[in-house]
Amino acid sequence: MARKLWHTRALAAATTGVMAFALAACGGTGAGGGGNGGAGDGEEGGLVGVAMPTQTSERWIADGEAVQSGLEEAGYEVDLQFAGDDIPTQQQQVDAMINAGAEALIIAAIDGTALAGQLEAAAAAGIPVISYDRLIRDSENVDFYVSFDNEQVGVQQATSLLMGLGLVDESGEPVSDAPAGPFNVELFAGSLDDNNAHFFWKGAIDTLQPYIDEGTLVVPSGQTTIEQAATQRWLQEVAQKRMEDLLTANYGDKKVDGVLAPYDGLSRGIIEALRSAGYADDAMPVVTGQDAEIASVKLIADGVQYATIFKDTRLLAEQAVIATEAYLAGEEPEANNTEDYDNGEKIVPSYLLESTIVTKDNIQSALVDTGYWTAEEVESGVAE
Ligand code: BGC
């Protein structure tokens, strides 16, 4: 079956606020006419609430727009909201969606534990809840989870670090004539309130630990726990400040060889700190990433950042739409993982997608040939 790719970025630039679009004139009923379809008016193609965490990272804008356009094509109305990474704002947005008569909710939580009250209200109103990319925790009222294989993403992040240091090939196999090291590396993790951060860290640290144990990798700061490596709210400036501090405290007489960074925004903060400390762009340590953000893809093309992990948000959005359609047709969506995502109250049936390591060598095949970014965007580093 050919997968339909929604052209997320072909849509108008980032749009906030309540979207009460007329129903798309497809699907036969024409129920919305030309007017603003009222929320929950009972006609075919009801309202779906889509709650995204923030617009500061372009992936969430792309996710929001892709989910919105997919749902609209399927004949639903969409209320798409971004919460500016503010937990009370996201709580209010979800409350408002429920009050407006949303028939399903798709939520990428800021803090995975902060929406239990909202989900209780959703369950009481019979509204299915799809946890999007990040698992909502501590609530039995999460019906389905669509995401990537997050532990594998962490394995790929660590693998890309080892690849950049010349220790393994792209499938993670040790290189026969690998350098002995030791290599100085520093480790960054995501926001501890995001369930994904723990999966990324586990995948990464399990992959790196043997190299740390045998002394091929050394962490001069000694900061090797997720708590020490964490980056509150995934903020670029927080990562930049920590990298500056690490450089000042530990690198007076040594060089950094590699940095594990689990998100491109953090990678760019880390690169800024390295630049300020005198590292030239053509002599950067191996810096990893995630999300294939266009600014980082350009840095990779320019040989400054080493790698990112590409998670195709178009495919994730597609799965969220498929799951929504299943629920609204009175069916259960199809899961491909019913074991790994325990949210503290239950194992949430999940649909997990695969991700890809992207270095300079496969920007063209992974990102340009697939239509995720154009060659011009890679060249300029700016999304059009
Ligand atoms: C997502 C990552 C993203 C990070 C920061 C995580 O939950 O899975 O793709 O880099 O949040 O936005």
Q: Is 263 in the pocket of ligand 1 (CB under 6 A)?
A: yes
User: Measuring from atom 10 of ligand 1, which residue has the nearest CA?
Assistant: 263
Rounded CA separation 221/104 (Å): 47
pLDDT of residue 45: 80
- Determine if ligand 1 sits within 6 Å of the CB of residue 293: no
Structural domains in the chain? 2-142+312-353 (3.40.50.2300), 150-310+359-369+372-380 (3.40.50.2300)
Q: What is the pLDDT of residue 9?
A: 34
What pLDDT digit, counting tens, does each position of 214-240 carry?
A: 999 999 999 999 999 999 999 999 999
**CA atoms within 13 Å, Cβ hemisphere of 232:** 4
Residue 57 alpha carbon, nearest atom of ligand 1: 12
Pocket test residue of 55, 56, 57, 288 for ligand 1, highest count of atoms within 8 A of CB = 57
The rounded Å distance from CA 218 to ligand 1 centre is: 27
Which of the listed residues 200, 234, 311 should we mutate to test ligand 1's pocket, taking the one with most ligand atoms within 8 A of CB?
Answer: 234
CA of 30 to the centre of ligand 1 (A): 37
Tell whether ligand 1 has an atom less than 6 A from the beta carbon of residue 103. no
Q: Per the structure block, which two tokens stand in for 191?
A: 């926001």
Residue nearest atom 4 in ligand 1 by C-alpha distance: 263
Q: How far is the CA of 64 from the centre of ligand 1 (A)?
A: 14
List the chain residues with pLDDT less than 70: 1-44
Which residue bears the tokens 């996710």?
Answer: 63
CB-based contacts of 353: which residues, under 8 Å, 6+ apart?
A: 146, 147, 148, 149, 311, 312, 315, 316, 319
DSSP states along 16-71: -S---PPPPS-SS--TTTTS-PPTT-SSSS-EEEEEES-SSSHHHHHHHHHHHHHH
The pLDDT, as a whole number, for residue 13 is: 31
Check residue 44 and give its pLDDT.
Answer: 64
